[in-house]
Amino acid sequence: MTITDIKTIADLKKADYKVLSVREEIRKNLIVKMETNQPIFPGILGYDTTVIPQIQNAIIAGQDIIFLGERGQGKSRLIRSLVDLLDEFIPTIAGCEINDNPFDPLCSQCRSIKNEKGNETEIVWLERNRRYGEKLATPDISIADLIGEIDPIKIAEGKYLSDELTIHYGLIPRVNRGIFCINEIPDLAERIQVGLLNLMEERDIQVRGFKMRLPLDIFVVASANPEDYTNRGRIITPLKDRYGAQIRTHYPFTVNNEILIAEQEQVKFKDHNFIMPKFMAIVLAKLTMLCRHSTEINQRSGVSVRLSIANYETLGAASIVRSIINHEEVAVPRISDLNSIRPSTIGKLEFEIVEDGKEEAILSKLLETAIIETFNEYFQDSDLDSIINDFDQGLILETGNDMPSSDYKTQGIDSKFTTIMGKLEDLNNDAMFASSLEFLLEGLYLTNKIGRSNPNDNKTTYMTKKQRS
């Protein structure tokens, strides 16, 4: 018998269906995934040995969870991924607003239907995505939003205030037998936090003087910024104590994970052939990680992974614009494209200084540091002696973000350059050649091995230090 054949309580009993609590259900499905080595949170990167084991422990223990972390650490994505641990479908009484268990309904309407129809009570199957509710906490949220309110239309229809059927259920009762998340829970007003605590702990609610026992079956999850949750005292102690597990999220520990997240989350289009060189991706990832440790950037709210994602997208867009203008088949970002990421970077950072224009100088310094660190990972001084000698002999090279890629090969570059650049990427197209050459030249300049003119009209000239002086 399939679920399409099960249409009444009698059919459920015949199929020997067992209704589990939501915690038992999530626990059961987690154990199955662990036993069969299935990925528990697909797409969540960098948490395999830190956050995910703590989530497993909390679920196995049947605890409500609060995730603490700065912005852009994947808290919301983690919480929404919990939905995949629910059963694909569960049965509920047809027409019920709070997803009642067919064998033991809570609301008076479903109890009346069951008393009238008995085992012939009609059921429907609720898919897992409809068993998740989420609310961003704001100071203006009311008890009516979360729990419920007297419905004036039902009063006008002749029902009494003392009748449970007059209540219009809020968000939380409507995800009964599911998962409910409150993002940024410290932003809830204290009286709302008390109402939430009452519902979670005492299992009853009171709407405009009408008290109703409502033992909801809900897995409650919340998120918060540590600054708000721990230091400012903006969450009442009894509610804080109600969460069984407090799990701290974090930013990627490694450059590689930062890159993997950016590549996974970037908006992808298929209308152009775009290639991000590994060394440019490393520069972007290092820039983000340097921002997270800079004393000139406010760290209290964090530096989101979205910074890496937005810069990855913006840098790619700049290279695509150039390829369109120059009628090139492949778009590859260059060092000269890095100016394009300034808007997507500065808009996501909170600087400690207030002087106009200082933000640009701070960002330029961080970008230079990211390039130098990446450059030093690829090259040793001994690799570069022959190239530096060419500059000492009078070699001058020009680059520019609007310069066609094919022009980079026509400036007297010999095999020494291509051999060294081969350490970066396979130079199988003109665009990759141009990108690799720009990175090599800028790295030589920033490590004080050659000179450079001040960029002018989107052009930069690299030369010996003596020529520069």
Q: What pLDDT, in 10s, does the model give residues 80-94?
A: 999 999 999 999 999
Position with higher pLDDT, 302 vs 81: 81
- For residue 294 the two structure tokens come to 């800079």
**Is the distance from CB of 154 to CB of 136 less than 8 angstroms?**
no
* CA–CA dist 179, 311 (Å, integer): 34
Phi, psi (5° rounding) for residue 334? Answer: -125, 170
Instruction: Using DSSP, state whether 423 is helix, strand or coil.
Output: coil
* CA–CA dist 362, 360 (Å, integer): 5
Task: Return mean pLDDT, the chain.
Answer: 87
- Please give the angle made by the CA atoms of 41, 42 and 47, to the nearest 5 degrees: 55
Query: Taking the chain, what is the end-to-end CA distance rounded to the nearest angstrom?
Result: 85
Q: In this structure, are strands 178-183 and 218-224 parallel, antiparallel, or unpaired? A: parallel
> What's the whole-number mean pLDDT along residues 409-431?
88
Give the up-direction half-sphere exposure of residue 23: CA atoms within 13 A in the CB hemisphere.
17
Q: Where are the domains of the chain?
A: 3-141+173-192+214-248, 255-468
| Structure confidence by residue, pLDDT tens digits, 29-68 | 999 999 999 999 998 999 999 999 999 999 999 998 999 9
pTM of the model: 0.86
> What's the whole-number mean pLDDT along residues 323-341?
94
**Spelled out in words, what is the top-level CATH class assigned to the domain 3-141+173-192+214-248?**
alpha beta
Does the pLDDT value for residue 229 go beyond 60? yes
- Within 29-172, strands assigned E span 65-68, 89-93, 123-127, 132-136, 148-150, 167-169
Give the burial class of 64: count Cβ atoms within 10 A of its Cβ; 0-12 exposed, 13-18 middle, 19 or more buried.
middle
Per-residue confidence (pLDDT) for residue 321, from 0 to 100? 95
| Structure confidence by residue, pLDDT tens digits, 182-227 | 998 888 888 788 777 776 676 555 655 556 667 788 898 999 888 7
Strand pairing partners for 222?
66, 182
Per-residue confidence (pLDDT) for residue 269, from 0 to 100? 85
Write 266-273 long-range contacts (CB < 8 A, 24+): 266/309, 266/312, 266/313, 266/316, 267/313, 272/320, 272/323, 272/324, 272/331, 273/329, 273/330, 273/331
**Is the distance from CB of 125 to CB of 99 less than 8 angstroms?**
no
